[in-house]
Chain A
């Protein structure tokens, strides 16, 4: 399993990660090595084996549907890099021009 540079760039874009050229080359090599190692999983016959997403017994966890006090808005905003009018502030997402 060898990843191409284009694949690495595609994955980085999916993951919203800016990578330097040096990082791209390095990840190309290292991720290929790791995936090659992981390829040994393909040698196992898993026909009829159910996947495990959680080791716990499957169960529903419910609680009464009632309002409870939460943390104050100001407290929750206290770590934000930019705040305006009691809200998280971000640049325009839609280009309306």
Chain B
């Protein structure tokens, strides 16, 4: 495909450096695609078009100077545009976290992950839609209206990073940043038919990420190709003194030149192939495992016996952490303030008026789980069971290198399907929550379609700090399959109409 928006990151970099097209042309191509599809999909909350074009002109000048002296330093992604989930701060650009309580918040600093990308020459196209404070699995909890799935606009894109996933799937950005606290990168990547990584907890700095569940939150990347996901990941990973939980563990470079997976041991956990899972999802994942086997990988059945407890553990721990983290939103230092006169009423009313239903529900749940008399029974017990879930993974990784599983029990579901039943919505997360509780990395990539033409994804989970194994296996899979190159019909039409 000749259009710029169809290129991979490395093709973009090559084209920009050799002068085949300019950064301005690149940014314009993505802005044009955003203009075509944004009215239908609503992937963005804030666009930075003018600023992006100004940065593109700057990049073009730098590129021109570099062409005269190719020995000189050049940032790895100079002139390449990207989309950023609206829970990560970009200095000077409104950041709402999908919430009305931050509708006018303009951060004065960059998140570290954003900073590292800017230093790498990346240009920010805009901020993408999310469930409010990243709490949700469909973007229906956004305070600014939901994002629509590019494969079927009657369906959700997944969540909470649904805007980032839809933007990449609709060729509105070559890659995007997201965050994953309980599946918020992997599930929307699966629903939108693209690739995405939730890194190991502590691998990417959380500084400048608006906190939801601090012991679970991870910043990661989306792209159509696993190799592009890996490239963005490699630029944002690493210790940061602004986040004391970020680790200086060495970054293993994934060997993406090799398609041979001989020696790779893949574990298939019984607990992830259960009754109630959509048959086409299970079939797609099993077929993908066969493909990995054909590349030399070995397969064995394993057990992660505490999987069924991940959901109740997560929905006590994450809301408990959220109830503390969201205490800062009180109308004093940022955001709109309620018209109430008394201090306590300002707190109550600002929060009551501005938080959406799901955020209130989780604050209530977390406050209860932490309250006197219930702490031990709920929060304390959840933390102990979290230890058991973590041990399941440690034991599994003594036997296998990666664990293969579905990402979600179904493909993208219709809007409103779970609107009156929060527990049913939480059940969408059963296969993604365990990795967050154990802190292990998870990679999602597309492995087929269901009979309604909706993408099916699979996830590979690996030991702490071994994202490189996941990238190698996912990349090898994409060398012999074509799912990642299949375009949503709406995107194909939009590109033909140009």
Chain A contact residues, CB within 8 Å of chain B: 3, 7-8, 11-12, 14-19, 23, 27, 30-31, 33-35, 37-38, 40-42, 44, 46, 49-56, 61, 63, 71, 75-76, 78-82, 88, 90-93
Contact = CB atoms under 8 A, between A and B. Distances in A.
Given A17-B363, A31-B365, A34-B423, A54 B351 contact: no
A41 B387 contact: no
Interface in B239-257: 241, 244-245, 247
Contacts of A11: 364, 367-368, 371
Interface in B313-328: 313, 315-316, 323, 327
Contacts of A8: 364
B385 A71 contact: no
Interface residues of B, number: 70
A96 to B, nearest CB: 14
A17 B348 contact: yes
B315 A91 contact: no
5 smallest CB-CB distances across A and B, nearest first, come from: A18-B352, A55-B439, A51-B383, A79-B334, A81-B337
B417 interface: no
A80 B334 contact: yes
A38 B342 CA distance: 37
Given A15-B363, A16-B347, 12 more contacts: A7-B368, A17-B348, A17-B352, A30-B361, A34-B315, A38-B382, A41-B382, A49-B384, A52-B383, A56-B247, A75-B108, A81-B334
B363 A79 contact: no
A87 B458 CA distance: 51
Which applies to chain B's interface (DSSP): helix, strand, loop or mixed? helix
B215 A15 contact: no
Which applies to chain A's interface (DSSP): helix, strand, loop or mixed? loop
A62 B423 CA distance: 41
25 contacts: A12-B364, A16-B347, A17-B355, A17-B363, A31-B361, A31-B364, A37-B312, A38-B312, A38-B315, A41-B385, A44-B306, A44-B309, A50-B384, A51-B380, A53-B215, A54-B245, A55-B202, A56-B201, A56-B439, A80-B333, A81-B335, A81-B337, A82-B337, A88-B333, A92-B343
A16 B422 contact: no
Contacts of A38: 312, 315-316, 378, 382
A63 B246 CA distance: 14
A38 to B, nearest CB: 4
Contacts of B108: 71, 75-76, 78-79
B384 A51 contact: yes
A28 to B, nearest CB: 10
A77 B244 CA distance: 26
Contacts of A91: 341-343, 346
